[in-house]
Chain A
């Protein structure tokens, strides 16, 4: 019968219309500014810098690997220099242009120090398209606790790894100190 498919189709739309008031799988929209969807744990947005205790002493050592690896080249780093002009392993400038960043997470994977991680903030709109989205070191430095809050699974793994590494280093340092002390204690053979 001509028109049967059409009527069947209208049946489907009618069913969808009615069920969109009652069935949860058909209710897919939320009224955004008032209601917000919980972001997923793996959700990533833009990178931020992690510090352990002191914001003046972040994990980042300004090695510039992320700057080099970043595909859209949105990271700019300058290291701190002491009075002799020698580089200190700390960033003086760490700028990320969020308007260029494409949230690819390559910097996070390339970082050997777990110093840069992906954030989950998403309400970043601004009226200034140049300076407004250029984030400086002060804006993107966030504590490790914050990272633990947004990515609990990853943070647990990384904290364990870092603690193990720190313990190992401590032990090695202690052994070294002991060896040095022992070396100092033994009298040097007289040089003739």
Chain B
């Protein structure tokens, strides 16, 4: 029911969002409104935070996004089904493989396509490689935000480079892979790829050990991150936070276990859980998740069967049955969902993305209130956002 207009608040300068911010603190000292971003290097893209600070303490924080809006959802409603596959790469540009998978999964559900065995293995391998890439980079960026300029980030990038070479050998591109197709993958793994991948995966544990020696016990890291940006389990569930952010609060929810898609039910792996929900837990959880991913990768690379890499699905004039479908996968950043409605035409009638970064960002203010402005930067860093996905 719409409220009668006389009960609505009149729009006055005082009622505008900008003016609701506290102007003074309790002692009568003036507060300062700072615009962090949109081109601040610590905002991981074009993201802006309107922060009101009392001295150095944050008293209000308003996230402002939309600078990278590209109209992805509307464009997808006007081009063919396969045409939006390369655009999904650009959502979360660190993890193009998982984005492809989530979208392919939705269309496969709509068109009732059965995916061959080998393709399922290829998908799991690609998704877990992506998880390694994403988490390694995230730890690097987080440390960069903490002020460890360069060293951990470049170590992370050095390892990521090896895996990007693997993705390039398969798909032809390092970041914008555009590799998954409805019913499988675009091309088969090249000759000798599996052994090359196994080599890198097997040596990855050693890198993680080294990375942990550098970081996990570091007193500066502990002092800066423990107890910073605490989120409770109740808060996280209420705001539908997913992924490592949710698990860091101790909630055991991973789609790979909770609602297995693909062939994840064939792998045995553990779900690492945090305890305190602070920034340190979120950092350490990602290291632990990488170790589980390595286990999955080793098994998948050893077991990958021969056979067709894609079901027989034509590219030109592809149409699905009319219907409505939601696919969700556990992307490295959280639950990535694609919601499609088709009316049987060549393009989806409605296309919606549920991006994990965007929804994980909703609790930013709750985590930041009362902390110092230097902590805001690392809390944002620990959420693991990619603006391509937040703004779409």
A interface, CB within 8 angstroms of B = 2-6, 8-9, 11-13, 16, 25-26, 28, 40-44, 65, 69, 71, 102-106, 109-110, 112, 118, 153
Contact = CB atoms under 8 A, between A and B. Distances in A.
B364 to A, nearest CB: 29
Contacts of B312: none
A12 B214 contact: yes
Given A2-B219, A13-B214, A102 B86 contact: yes
Nearest to A8: B213
B50 to A, nearest CB: 33
Nearest to B90: A102
B178 A5 contact: no
Contacts of A3: 219
A180 to B, nearest CB: 34
A2 B223 CA distance: 12
A104 B210 contact: no
Interface stretch (B61-69, B76-84, B276-284): B76-84
Contact of B210 (A12, A109, A118): A12
Contacts of A110: 315-316
A164 to B, nearest CB: 19
Contact of A9 (B86, B190, B215, B316): B215
Interface stretch (B163-171, B256-264, B373-381): B163-171
A103 B176 contact: yes
Interface of B: 79-80, 82-87, 89, 151, 155, 158, 161, 165, 168-173, 176, 178, 186-187, 190, 203, 210, 213-220, 222, 315-316
A3 B215 CA distance: 12
A28 B158 contact: yes
Contacts of B89: 104
30 contacts: A3-B219, A5-B216, A6-B220, A8-B213, A8-B217, A9-B217, A9-B218, A12-B210, A12-B213, A13-B214, A40-B169, A42-B168, A42-B170, A42-B172, A43-B172, A65-B316, A69-B83, A69-B315, A71-B79, A102-B86, A102-B176, A103-B173, A104-B89, A104-B178, A105-B186, A106-B85, A106-B86, A109-B82, A109-B315, A112-B316
Nearest to A44: B172
A65 B213 CA distance: 55
Contact of B218 (A5, A109, A153): A5
B158 A26 contact: yes
A71 B176 CA distance: 14
Nearest to B215: A9
Most B Cβ at <10 Å: residue of A13, A26, A65, A105: A105
A132 to B, nearest CB: 22
B153 to A, nearest CB: 13
A105 B214 contact: no
B142 to A, nearest CB: 15
Contacts of B315: 69, 106, 109-110
